[in-house]
Amino acid sequence: QVQLQESGPGLVKPSQTLSLTCTVSGGSITTNSYYWSWIRQPPGKGLEWMGAIANGDRTYYSPSQRGRFTISRDNAKNTIYLQMNDLKADDTAVYYCAADWGPCTVGVPAMYGNWGQGTQVTVFS
């Protein structure tokens, strides 16, 4: 089973750009048919699937993300990235990296069996 570890700056200001890193161990991010996703949970709210990346650098995004988020990968470093532009207070949340098999995982947090511990991101002015 893979292990996922998120990291990134915890405090950012509105309109800034933020990059989060998900370091993967115990397996390769090039594993066929595995979908590597970012999911967040704002305070007092449910899980929100943001997007995923699969082999061939195919990416999938939530329609609500309005083009502000980009997911990428570095196969040599076995790492997944999330870049968020023009941060807003509503982006304050715990951000999770998650992974599991198959396209059925796209858009559905409950389909993911492998999760990191999450990293808190707070947008404040």
Closest residue by Cα to residue 105 from 47, 64, 65:
47
pLDDT surpassing 70 at residue 6: yes
DSSP string covering 39-75: EEE-TTS--EEEEEEEGGGEEEE-GGGTT-EEEEEET
What does the alpha-carbon distance between residue 117 and residue 5 come to, in Å, rounded to a whole number? 7
pLDDT tens digits, residue range 104-118?
Answer: 888 899 999 999 999
pLDDT tens digits, residue range 64-83?
Answer: 876 899 999 999 999 999 99
Task: Tell me if residue 99 falls in helix, strand or coil.
Answer: strand
The answer to whether 97 touches 37, Cβ cutoff 8 Å, is yes
Rg (CA), the chain: 13
Angle (nearest 5°) at CA 20 between 17 and 21? 145
What does the alpha-carbon distance between residue 89 and residue 109 come to, in Å, rounded to a whole number? 23
Q: Which of 1-5, 50-54, 99-103, 116-120 has the lowest mean pLDDT?
A: 99-103
pLDDT tens digits, residue range 21-52?
Answer: 999 999 999 988 899 999 999 999 999 999 99
* Residue in the block written with tokens 């997911």: 71
pLDDT category, 62, cuts 50, 70, 90?
very high
Considering the chain, what is the average pLDDT of its residues?
94
pLDDT surpassing 90 at residue 55: no
